[in-house]
Amino acid sequence: MTTLRFSYHMRLNFELPVREHHFKLRCFPSSDDRQRISYERVEIYPVHFRTEERDSFGNMCIYGTARQIHDHFTVDVEGTAETDINAKLRAEPHKTGLFKYDTALTKAGESIREFHLSLDPMNWMTEYERAVYMMNELYEEFTYTPGVTGIMTTAEEAFSMRHGVCQDYAHIFLALCRLERIPCRYVAGMIPGEGATHAWAEVLDGEAWRPVDPTHNRVCDDTYIKISCGRDAQDCAINQGVFYGGGKQTQEVRVIVKRKR
């Protein structure tokens, strides 16, 4: 068991003032079999009304409205996570089928399919062993390069360039697993030293989800705090909303995770 302190800060800046801002936030870790979350502070500004609800993937969301005129919007979260990577995160069998199939962002094209065919035969491996093997091979083939992809870049587009960031690693890994019909899902969360949110994946191993990090080519440990999961990054979008006004927007995110002394 490891105890981690975390803080999450997001600020949206609007070029022009906005009003009647209706938002959905998905940036709050929640407790499960592997992590226990205690919140010390959750602040949203501005806000007139807010409520909490879980989405269809079990992610905690805050829905709200900021009616007054504002030129920025901030979210600040602080808390403690007690994590235990050895605890089983049990899957609900009737909800695992959809994680075998691709999405618009994880659909394998010619480049990913050719790479998949080039891998050594994996028939003798378990599904989880195949997933880890493909993660190792992907790490050797792909290079972490910020700024060359965007939030809507597909797995195929990123792999064709052989460059991208954690979201791209996760999407390509999911595409490879789904070619093998291995149930797998996208995870957004926080780890020490990143300064921003991080993306990894979970693979179904028997009756439990096991987390792996394709960007760092490793099995996740107790320093990973999970925020949300889904079929791809769109299911884990941190901030969604509609409003009047605004013009261009810029977003700032700052994440700090440290072991509690």
pLDDT band, very low/low/confident/very high, at 120 (cuts 50, 70, 90): confident
- Give the model's pLDDT for residue 190: 97
Reported as type and span, the H/E element at residue 128 is helix 127-141
Q: Which tokens is 57 given?
A: 């993937």
Is the domain of 112 the same as that of 221?
Answer: yes
Rounded to an integer, what distance in angstroms lies between the CA atom of residue 203 and that of residue 216? 16
Is the domain of 76 the same as that of 200?
Answer: no
Q: Which tokens is 192 given?
A: 């020490």
Q: Which tokens is 10 given?
A: 């997001």
Rounded to an integer, what distance in angstroms lies between the CA atom of residue 206 and that of residue 82? 25
Is the domain of 55 the same as that of 112?
Answer: no
Q: Is the per-residue pLDDT at 86 higher than 90?
A: no
What is the domain range of residue 213?
89-230
Phi, psi of 151 (to 5 degrees): -70, -20
Q: Is the per-residue pLDDT at 247 higher than 90?
A: no
**Cα within 13 Å of Cα(1), Cβ side:** 8
Is the domain of 76 the same as that of 116?
Answer: no
Reported as type and span, the H/E element at residue 41 is strand 35-45
Is the domain of 223 the same as that of 251?
Answer: no
Instruction: Please provide the DSSP assignment of 30-79 as one string.
Output: ---SSEEEEEEEEEEES-SEEEEEE-TTS-EEEEEEE-S-EEEEEEEEEE
- Give the model's pLDDT for residue 71: 95
Is the domain of 248 the same as that of 158?
Answer: no
Is the domain of 93 the same as that of 29?
Answer: no
Judging by DSSP bridges, how do beta strands 143-144 and 163-164 pair with one another? parallel
Number of domains in the chain: 2
Q: What is the CATH number of the domain that holds 97?
A: 3.10.620.30
Amino acid identity of 156?
E
Span 92-107, average pLDDT: 92
- Of the candidates 50, 66, 75, 25, the one whose C-alpha atom is nearest the C-alpha of residue 244 is 66
Are the CB atoms for 69 and 19 separated by under 8 Å? yes
Are the CB atoms for 164 and 182 separated by under 8 Å? no
Percent of the chain at pLDDT > 90 equals 90
Q: What is the pLDDT of residues 18-77, one digit of tens each?
A: 999 999 999 999 999 999 999 999 999 999 999 999 999 999 999 999 999 999 999 999
pTM of the model: 0.95
Is the domain of 103 the same as that of 204?
Answer: yes
Is the domain of 27 the same as that of 156?
Answer: no
Is the domain of 246 the same as that of 175?
Answer: no
pLDDT band, very low/low/confident/very high, at 95 (cuts 50, 70, 90): confident
- Give the model's pLDDT for residue 127: 94
- Give the model's pLDDT for residue 123: 84
Residue 1 CB neighbours (<10 A): 10
Q: Is the per-residue pLDDT at 261 higher than 80?
A: no
Reported as type and span, the H/E element at residue 115 is helix 110-118
Q: How far is CA 20 from CA 51, 79, 135, in A?
A: 16, 29, 44
pLDDT band, very low/low/confident/very high, at 207 (cuts 50, 70, 90): confident
Are the CB atoms for 118 and 69 separated by under 8 Å? no
Is the domain of 70 the same as that of 93?
Answer: no
Span 228-249, average pLDDT: 94
